[in-house]
Amino acid sequence: MNIVSHIASVASALLQVPQEGPEMATLMRSNGKIYVVVAVIVVIWLGVLLYLISIDRKLSRLEKAEAEKNRTRPTPTSVV
């Protein structure tokens, strides 16, 4: 019986439709501040993307230099 009442209360809570949207989002949209928030988020993501691209280029250069160094180095011979 306890499980049935718990399931019924969860189902009723999930099925309730909110009358209004979030108050903060409505306020920010009306003031035009939502565009500032979106712009800041876009700038942050662009910064992260540019950082990852620069790290990838540096890593590629290091890998290429290491491969070139290994290609020119003679292989050691083992003494038995």
For the chain, which residues make up each domain, given as ranges? 22-60
- Give me 33's structure tokens: 């501040």
* Mean of per-residue pLDDT scores for the chain: 83
Res. 74: pLDDT tops 90: no
What pLDDT, on a 0 to 100 scale, did the predictor assign at position 11?
A: 75
What pLDDT, on a 0 to 100 scale, did the predictor assign at position 17?
A: 63
Are 30 and 39 a contacting pair, CB within 8 Å? Answer: no
Q: Stretch 43-66: mean pLDDT, rounded?
A: 97
User: Residue 26: phi, psi to the nearest 5?
Assistant: -65, -45
Is pTM beyond 0.85? Reply is no
How far is Cα 18 from Cα 28, in angstroms, rounded to an integer?
A: 19
Res. 67: pLDDT tops 70: yes
- Give me 63's structure tokens: 């890998």
Are 47 and 56 a contacting pair, CB within 8 Å? Answer: no
How far is Cα 19 from Cα 28, in angstroms, rounded to an integer?
A: 19
